[in-house]
Amino acid sequence: MSASEDSKSIDNDTATASRREFAKMAMGGAAALAFAGTGSASLRPIPPGIKIGTSAGQPTAENLIYLKQLGVQWVSLAPTPETATAEGFIKMREQWEAGGFKVYNIGSGVGPSGSLHNMPEVTLNLPGRDQKIEEYLNYIRYLGKAGIPYSTYAHMGNGIWRSGRATLPRGYTGADCDLSSPNLKGTWAGKTYTEPLSHGRVFTKEEIWDNYTYFIKKVVPVAEEAGVRIGIHPDDPPQPMLAGVPRCIFSNFEGYKRALEIANSPNIGVCLCCGSWLEGGKMTGKDPVEMIKYFGPMKKLFKIHFRNVSAPLPHFTETLIDDGYYDMSKVMQALVDVNFEGIVIPDHVPALGIIPGAEPGLGGGAGRGVPGEFRPNVGMAYLIACMNSMLKAAQNHKSSG
């Protein structure tokens, strides 16, 4: 759950884009602008085509070589409080570009007060809401100045909920969510949330919708001026109610549809985390392919988290993309069919293999022993290969059809 440049650099970048590529990008932007309420929205151009990338960590020499070996060109980054400035984002972008990569996303926002992602102050209208919103608006302004085309935002009021880890039949482990488990809890930004009431009372759906509307109406003009796309991540898990907080907006198709209509901007769209969506099963109202076919042609689909799970709620375990209950090749085919132009990344990558000296169960399979020591991420390599194979097969199927 996105690196940088000032306004002069933005103009220079645009000027150096090839006319053919810019024309293709402009067509997509023109279609998206039809949804703008102000008529003054802008979208930073991105090249056409599906971009298989990854969350990339730090631009160390070892990591740059490893990602190049995997065939990755586009990366998704996360900031720190120290780097979350226009200058910091510019430096991040330039570091990756110097290594031959392109930055699509700097997400999971952070500001002076901490996380700007899954902010209960905003989602639930708690003390500090306006401060959080202003920090988030500045964050989007920094991205615009840095030339970053996209950022992911999540709107959960009491974190991501899990009950521990479980071992899959193939022998690797994944995060587990069992709604009946006594260990079930939500976590985000160092805070823990539990049943029965994470914030002391039950909130109404009307409150959640009012709070979202208050927030997004402030975000839209800033995003449009900055030229930044914002993709809203599904609730994880998309359970209708958790600890007194309704998950009524970003846990189902109708909620997304209404939310994007309220925003009424080409800059506000969907980050479709397939794993989170599959956790909801039939409760979501549409499966991932149906979501892609609806929002893709509207140019409202910005980023895909390519993830699978063992089963829908009430109990699921995160799996490798070829080991869950949904055929993820259908997702890739749908993306090709709707001419998706955003980034597709592996998400919540399970650890694979046993590396001597590595920390046991380290998320993502990075296999780091001594702090700071780089070791290739076996799980990510496996998933990137699967995704590239699915993409080629989907492209061949479309061209032959």
Can you tell me the distance from the alpha carbon of 151 to that of 106, in angstroms, rounded to the nearest whole number? 6
Report the predicted TM-score, pTM, of the whole model to 2 decimal places: 0.87
Q: Check pLDDT > 70 for residue 106.
A: yes
Q: Say if residues 188 and 115 touch (Cβ distance below 8 Å).
A: yes
Q: Check pLDDT > 50 for residue 314.
A: yes
Closest listed residue to residue 276, CA positions, set 240, 308, 302, 319: 308
Can you give the pLDDT at residue 266? 97
Can you give the pLDDT at residue 260? 98
Q: Check pLDDT > 80 for residue 277.
A: yes
Sign of CA dihedral 277, 233, 388, 21: positive
Percent of the chain with pLDDT over 70: 85
Can you tell me the distance from the alpha carbon of 77 to that of 56, in angstroms, rounded to the nearest whole number? 6
Can you give the pLDDT at residue 2? 37
What number is the average pLDDT over the span 302-327? 98
Q: Check pLDDT > 60 for residue 56.
A: yes
Provide the 3-class DSSP secondary structure of residue 154: strand
- Exposed e or buried b for every residue in 370-388, given b needs 16+ CB within 10 A? eeeebbbbbbbbbbbebbe
Q: Sorting pLDDT into bands at 50, 70 and 90, what band is 359?
A: low
Residue-range domains of the chain with CATH: 7-400 (3.20.20.150)
Residue scoring higher pLDDT (368 or 315): 315
What number is the average pLDDT over the span 69-77? 96
What number is the average pLDDT over the span 183-201? 97
- The contacts of residue 332 (CB under 8 Å, 6+ apart) are 344, 387, 390, 391, 393, 394
Q: Check pLDDT > 90 for residue 65.
A: yes
Can you give the pLDDT at residue 373? 63
Percent of the chain with pLDDT over 90: 81
